[in-house]
Amino acid sequence: MKAPYFLSILIMLCFTATAQVPDTSLQKIMDGQEIPAHIEKAADADGIFAIYPGNGIPPSSEKWTWSERTIQTENDKMARNVVIPTLTLFTPEKGNANGTAVIVAPGGAFTILSMQKEGYEVARWLNQYGITALVLKYRLAPTPQDDAELQPFLTSLFEKLPHPDEKAVDPPVGTTEVEEARLLAEEDGRQAIRYVRTHAEAFGIEPNKIGIMGFSAGGGIAVNVALEHDTLSRPDFTVGIYAGWRRGVPVPADAPPLFLAISDEDKLVGPVSSARLYEQWHQAGKPVSLHIFGSGEHGFGARENNTLSDAWTDLFESWLAASGFIDKR
């Protein structure tokens, strides 16, 4: 079975260097952290922050022996073997910030992270609306440390994973390692919101205007954080881009507003799965918006692809404005 696009997602991603942060309180936070040199940062980012205290390694990952790696591909940067979950900060132009923040969770089947296409590019796009964006690197299933071994590993992994079609209701279920990583990644999503809310003043944002947006696997994180959270980790709004429904988890009484977008041609996460999410939120009486586009396939990100799915970014802007998270333009 051919897997060109899936593997292109699984073989793209990661980082470069970091810019100075003008806010002294943020600089103090960064000065108090020791981010290992092998963790790359986007050159135009305004800082990088470990979301767990101490050395930044979560308690459940202290015995991991691998370390974060990055790969530059033709169309993307990929991060893998993440051990220290981080947030990379992108701020709007001075005087443009409106107090809203969005945590961006890239996709990659809980095995790699599409840092450029579904991370940094999305953050820069959000900055245009005055939104402070923070790209989340979350924990993943381990891959070989040697870059030369990566492609054969991913090819083998793809053969093991289920291949649902556009009619599938449930999102793909991964290997044991992938499913374990999913649970850790979801906790990283909750911790990211806790971290941003705790440091809201330093980030120059309002603690009641913190959203989480995710793509594919990252969309699963965003949705599951909306479903399961405590007071400090509850997102004020959630965005799932080609995100799937998960059985057995009821919509809580404090579920945040939800925005969903997916292509009818998606063969990795069936559009029916996103429709089930819509149905779940709607029946619970919670605000929800769903957009299913006739073309676009999986992985369209926020780029212009000359497909119907290109419209989601304008629709999202309108949704944010109608919901009071940005000003109408």
CATH number at residue 299: 3.40.50.1820
Domain that holds residue 301: 4-322
Pair type for strands 210-215 and 237-241: parallel
Rounded to an integer, what distance in angstroms lies between the CA atom of residue 50 and that of residue 33? 7
CB 290 within 8 A of CB 242: no
Letter for the amino acid at 134?
Answer: L
Number of domains in the chain: 1
Percent of the chain's residues with pLDDT above 90: 60
**Is the pLDDT at 257 greater than 50, yes or no?**
yes
Mean pLDDT calculated for residue range 95-109: 95
CB 87 within 8 A of CB 136: yes
- Please tell me the predicted confidence (pLDDT) of residue 151: 83
**Is the pLDDT at 173 greater than 80, yes or no?**
no
CB 5 within 8 A of CB 242: no
Residue that wins the pLDDT comparison between 121 and 168: 121
In-domain check, residue 259: yes
CB 292 within 8 A of CB 185: no
Percent of the chain's residues with pLDDT above 70: 88
Mean pLDDT calculated for residue range 155-182: 75
CB 265 within 8 A of CB 246: no
What φ, ψ does residue 61 adopt, rounded to 5°? -120, 10
With bands split at pLDDT 50, 70 and 90, how would you rate the model's confidence at 75? confident
In-domain check, residue 105: yes
The sheet carrying 69-72 orders its strands as: 69-72, 77-80, 112-114
**Is the pLDDT at 23 greater than 70, yes or no?**
no
In-domain check, residue 242: yes
In-domain check, residue 281: yes
Cross-strand partners of 49: 87
In-domain check, residue 286: yes
Residue that wins the pLDDT comparison between 218 and 5: 218
**Is the pLDDT at 135 greater than 90, yes or no?**
yes
Flag the least confident range among 29-33, 94-98, 233-237, 311-315.
29-33
Instruction: Give Cα separations from 178 to 108, 109, 167, 315 (angstroms).
Output: 11, 8, 23, 32
- Please tell me the predicted confidence (pLDDT) of residue 1: 40
With bands split at pLDDT 50, 70 and 90, how would you rate the model's confidence at 5? very low
**Is the pLDDT at 293 greater than 70, yes or no?**
yes
- Please tell me the predicted confidence (pLDDT) of residue 291: 96
In-domain check, residue 266: yes
In-domain check, residue 328: no
- Please tell me the predicted confidence (pLDDT) of residue 27: 78
Flag the least confident range among 127-131, 161-165, 232-236, 284-288.
161-165
pLDDT tens digit sequence for 180-192:
999 999 999 999 9
In-domain check, residue 88: yes
- Please tell me the predicted confidence (pLDDT) of residue 8: 41
pTM value is 0.88
